[in-house]
Amino acid sequence: MIAFLRGKLEKKTEEFIWLEVKDIGFQLYISSFTYEKLPDIGEELKLYTWMSTAMYGGSTFYGFLTTQEKEIFLLLNSISKIGPKDSLKILSKISSSLADFKKAIIEKDLRVLTTFFGLTKKKAERIILGLKDKITALEIESPYRFIFKDKQRIMDAVSALLSLGYKNREAEEAVNMAIESLGKEEKVEKIIKHALKYL
């Protein structure tokens, strides 16, 4: 098993990167969290890795910027009927606030998982069932960003932006920045209006 790779970044897309390691090019699939923190093309990059091997041959590499990101990916991948590609998509959705995701799993809060993180109800239920006994031991380094400032107000603001056609992750980020700028006591209507400036 290859634990990590260090090399020169040759190509980057939101879905995968090419990493040159001693004249060998590796294609690694990544999350949006890792994509947003990638260096410029030609610079050195270290990614923690996990490899999936297909039944009839062939391997797929997945790359993670931090060991914590990889650990959460492996937890998601351990859930029945959620494979590595689905795990990576879920990781992209929850990486904006891992602490809030952990809390939502522990409290079995379907509304938070579906509204904040854009998961379907069926998938959220499956994740709760699969992780409720595992995630408590996971140490999350990031702080709470959304839920515990004012859960209801933030959910209402995010829902409003989703209804306007914005993606879940960008709606979360915009609402979070609006609240940090305005203060958590502002009315939902003002939060939404201010959040639109970041979109």
- pLDDT digit of tens for each residue in the chain (199 aa)? 789 999 999 999 999 999 999 999 999 999 998 999 999 999 999 999 999 987 666 789 999 999 999 999 999 999 988 999 999 999 998 887 888 899 889 989 888 888 778 888 999 999 999 998 898 888 876 666 655 556 677 778 888 998 898 887 788 778 878 877 776 567 888 889 888 988 8
Residue 59's domain comprises: 4-65
Last residue of a domain, one of 35, 65, 95: 65
Residue 118 lies in a domain: yes
Residue 131 lies in a domain: yes
Return the CATH number at 20: 2.40.50.140
Residue 32 lies in a domain: yes
Last residue of a domain, one of 137, 163, 184: 137
- The residue among 105, 103, 69 whose CA lies nearest residue 88 is 69
Last residue of a domain, one of 65, 93, 110: 65
- Tokens 């991948």 correspond to what residue? 77
The model's pTM is 0.74
Residues 133 and 165 in one domain: no
> What letter does residue 54 receive in the DSSP assignment?
-
Residue 142 lies in a domain: no
Domain count of the fold of the chain: 3
Residue 116 lies in a domain: yes
Q: Would you say 153 and 125 are in contact if contact means Cβ atoms under 8 Å apart?
A: no
First-last CA distance in the chain:
41
Residues 9 and 43 in one domain: yes
Residue 61 lies in a domain: yes
Residue 169 lies in a domain: yes
